[in-house]
Amino acid sequence: MNCKKIQNLLLTDYLDGQLEEEKKKSFDNHLSSCFNCREFASVAQNNIMQPFINAEKFIPSDQIWQRIKKAIEEKPEPVRSGFLTSFWNSLKESFLFPRPAYALAGILLIFVVAMSVNRMSLERQQKTIHESEKEIEYITYLAEATLDVSVDQNGGYGTAIEYYFL
C-alpha cells in the first residue's frame, strides 16, 4: 500500500478500529517504517479523535418527560395507521420480497406495458392500411364505372329521356 492509500484508510477504518487483523498488521508494519505516515497518524489521533474521548454526557432534564407526558395525556391514543397503511403493511408481510425482486417485477411490468402499447399501435396501423386499400379499390371502381357509360356518336348518352325529347 502506498502512503496516500494508508492515510485515507487511517482516517477511517484504522482510527475507528474497524480494520481486520491481517490488514491492521500490514498497516502497522508500514507505519513502523514510514515516518510521514506515522506522524500523520499521531496528529490525527491527537487532534481529531482524542477530543471526543471522555466527552461530557448530557443528562436530559425531568421537565422534558413531563412535557412529553402532558402532550400524550392530552391525546392519549397513538395515531392508528389508516386502512391503506395497514393493508400495505400486511401485504408487505405476506410477500417479503427483497428489493431486487421489486425492481425486477417493475422492469417486467414496464416491458409488458410497452409491448402491449406497441402491439396496439401496430394493429391500428394495419387497420388504417386495410381501410385505405378499400377506399382506393372503391374509387377505382367508380372511375371504371364512369368510363363504362357509353357515349354515342352524336354526343348523346342513349337514354330514354333523350329519345322522348328528340
Q: Is 77 in the site for other proteins (CB under 8 A)?
A: yes
Q: Look up residue 117 and give its three cell numbers.
A: 402499447
- Are 156 and 162 a contacting pair, CB within 8 Å? yes
Minimum CB–partner distance for residue 51 and other proteins (Å):
5
- Contact segment (CB under 8 A) with other proteins among 53-61, 103-111, 137-145, 155-163 equals 53-61
Q: How many helices (H) and strands (E) does the chain have?
A: 7, 0
Q: Is 46 in the site for other proteins (CB under 8 A)?
A: yes
Per-residue binding letters, 1-40, with other proteins (x by CB under 8 A): -------x--xxx-xx-x----------------------
- Are 5 and 34 a contacting pair, CB within 8 Å? no
118/129 Cα distance (integer angstroms): 17
Nearer to other proteins, 35 or 52 (CB): 52
Q: Look up residue 66 and give its three cell numbers.
A: 413531563
Look-up of cell digits 408481510: 93
**Site residues (CB under 8 A) for other proteins?**
8, 11-13, 15-16, 18, 43-44, 46-52, 54-61, 63-65, 67-69, 71-73, 76-81, 85, 89, 92-93, 96
